[in-house]
Structure 1
Amino acid sequence: MRLIGRVNHLKKVGLWAVKLPSAYATVVRRTLSCLAKDSRGLPGVNESTEQIEQREAFWSTIKLARFGMNITSNSLLGVVRFITVGKFIALFGKTGIGRWLLLNFPSVFSLGFFRKKGPTKDEVASATFKMWFVGQGFSDGSLASQGNRKPDMEIITRVMGPEIGYLTTPIILVQCALILLKERDNLPKGGVFPPGIVFGPTDLQDRLQQNGISFDVISKKTVYQNGSSLQF
């Protein structure tokens, strides 16, 4: 990873990136904070013994982590556009007249990313999304307690699917709703929770894969202290 100001060049996936100031990272951290309180996850309303074992087995494989999110582009110019749009929103969003300008001339101040009419059906049908996850950690938990040790494992995964707003989001919401209907006894009694801690042990990932959203492990490798690596 090469750092130029606030812009990262992610050589591993061939993309330029800048930090995305959104709620995504906060939601993930809230999920992990729930797990930190109870490593077995949240108990269901009326779980069977088999379901309890399944839930605890699932969460035993999840480790606490630091999480951050970037928005990426194939080119440095694309990232510059992201930053420029962010500056416009931050500047004009402070005043009433500024917000009026943003709402009435979105294509101007978003440099073409957004427009009032929204996308056409053909544009939605042809669009896709891709999310990369680059994780670094330790092959042995005891290594993490050694303050001067660097992570010796790296894994890169990818989530892909159809257009993320009009197609993928409804797919996810519908499948979550079906799980709520079908597996109510296995889910928490109620309250306000991040989705990860609720749906983690369910078959949501399998359901999404059956509906056009793919989850792939791109690479997994051991990183040695001298900088060399072994991929497998």
Structure 2
Amino acid sequence: MDDQSQSPSPPYDLVILGASGFTGKYVVREALKFLNIPSSPLKSLALAGRNPTKLTKPQLGFPPQHFSSDPYPQSRHYRPFFNPSSLHPNQAHSQLRWPFSPLWCDYLDICGEPEFMERMEMKFHENAMETGSLVVSACGFDSVPAELGWMFNSRQWVSPAVPNQIEAYLSLESEKRIVGNFGTYESAILGVSNAEKLQELRRSRPKRAKPVEIGLWAVKLPSADSIVVRRTLATLTENPQGLPGVNESAEQIKKREAFWSMMKPAHFGVKLASKTLSGVIRFITVGVFMGLLGGNAIGRWLLFKFPSFFSLGWFTKKGPSEDEVRSATFKMWFVGRGFSDGNQVSQANMKPDMEIVTRLMGPEIGYLTTPIILVQCALILLSERDNLPKGGVFPPGIVFGPTDLQERLQQKGISFDVISKKALPA
């Protein structure tokens, strides 16, 4: 061990990994809004990243005088680390940390790659339960809007009404062009390339309980959101009243059970929407490129080498400009169809006779909405740890669904609205 790893370190509430990356700088900016203010539980912050030059740039939000080549700056509120490996377990006393160190702590991730998430669950779930570490992936646009969106729609179905299916339609809009960063593009390709590994992983695991549904399943679409929602529904099927908190009060237990009693299992799927036919054709073309080339090494090399060409301009190695990020927004409609009286569903040839449409709207998905979601999940974890599960690897919905996450996101400009409720023609 070198001298640096043996030096004492102050405790940190939060360590942000990947802070020198493209998305990382936006996460840091969002976290700084809540650092060391009276109403926030975030009193200390540390940064970890591979690139020391980017990590110490004032654009991250810190005043320049708080950065130097000294890995132990004088500020007691925040600290940059030049490489994640420099965060020795004896130094990182944070309450939030990645789960791949000898000392397990709670960990949040924005990763939305299904194979990675399910592999982490298989590898770490039992250990995380034993050590009391809460590990939650998909805590960004993948897949919190999808999870909270179907929960919001589900709560609109007042008994005896029940939904049969809830389909989400995602529309990305911008006054300028819509551009994504290369890292996001890489994740999408890896998700495609690991599809076969995901199926092998699932075949090797014990079968989980399937959510009970009313009626038939709709056509399944490949979507990280759909997979994450199904994981939450499977956990809810095994735990109908949700997961108990590590040290819940009687009031909190009642609140959690009441929340989950309003959830009604239904098929969930996601589709990309566009105002124009050319937009739909563009989606399909990019999907074909990734599907054809993402499954082999040479194809992936081509996709990585020429991201702008194969994504039809959606992704570049440079990433979007600040103006392009600020001008982009998203809308996500949730169309729920079901039955006005669930007691009659068992009748032969019963067709859905009711439709409820809800909508989420918010800012650009990758670099504004995702940091907002991640930081709010972290603040909930810091302030409400006793009300959350003791430990384990879970999707975000089963952990943060009963909390005030929706209200927090609404305060940050992500709206939840009921658009319509109507009877369907016989």
Gaps of 5+ in 2: 1-168, 172-218
2: CA distance between counterparts of 1:19 and 1:84? 20
Question: Per the alignment, do residues 175 and 56 of structure 1 end up closer, same or farther by CA in structure 2, a change over 3 Å counting?
Answer: same
- 1:59 aligns to what? 260
The 8 Å contact of residues 154 and 223 in structure 1, kept in 2 or not, is answered as yes
Displacement of 1:19 in angstroms is 7.8
Question: Per the alignment, do residues 20 and 123 of structure 1 end up closer, same or farther by CA in structure 2, a change over 3 Å counting?
Answer: farther
Q: Give TM-score, length-normalised by structure 2.
A: 0.48
Displacement of 1:20 in angstroms is 5.5
Gaps of 5+ in 1: 1-12, 226-232
Q: After alignment, is 19-28 or 161-170 more displaced? A: 19-28
Q: Within 5 Å, which residues of 2 pair with 1:12-161? A: 21-161=222-362
Counterpart residue identity of residue 259, structure 2: F
1: CA distance between counterparts of 2:372 and 2:418? 22
1:193 aligned to 2:384? Answer: no
Displacement of 1:90 in angstroms is 1.5
Counterpart residue identity of residue 166, structure 1: Y
CA RMSD in angstroms, aligned pairs only: 1.7
Counterpart residue identity of residue 334, structure 2: F
- 2:414 aligns to what? 213
Counterpart residue identity of residue 347, structure 2: Q
Counterpart residue identity of residue 294, structure 2: G
Counterpart residue identity of residue 308, structure 2: S
The 8 Å contact of residues 20 and 71 in structure 1, kept in 2 or not, is answered as no
2: CA distance between counterparts of 1:136 and 1:89? 32
- 2:367 aligns to what? 166
CA offsets per residue over residues 122-165 of structure 1, 9 Å max, x none?
Answer: 00011111111100112222122224211222111111111000
2: CA distance between counterparts of 1:198 and 1:147? 38
2: CA distance between counterparts of 1:148 and 1:86? 36
2: CA distance between counterparts of 1:134 and 1:93? 31
Greater radius of gyration (CA): 2
Displacement of 1:87 in angstroms is 1.0
Q: After alignment, is 196-205 or 94-103 more displaced? A: 94-103
CA offsets per residue over residues 87-137 of structure 1, 9 Å max, x none?
Answer: 111122233232122112111111111111110000001111111110011
**3-state SS of paired residue (1:180):** helix
Counterpart residue identity of residue 199, structure 1: F
The 8 Å contact of residues 19 and 70 in structure 1, kept in 2 or not, is answered as no
2: CA distance between counterparts of 1:148 and 1:19? 22
**3-state SS of paired residue (1:69):** strand
The 8 Å contact of residues 19 and 71 in structure 1, kept in 2 or not, is answered as no
Q: After alignment, is 210-219 or 99-108 more displaced? A: 99-108
1: CA distance between counterparts of 2:244 and 2:220? 35
Identity over aligned pairs, percent: 73
Counterpart residue identity of residue 41, structure 1: G
2: CA distance between counterparts of 1:94 and 1:41? 38
Displacement of 1:224 in angstroms is 4.2
Counterpart residue identity of residue 295, structure 2: K
Q: Give TM-score, length-normalised by structure 1.
A: 0.86
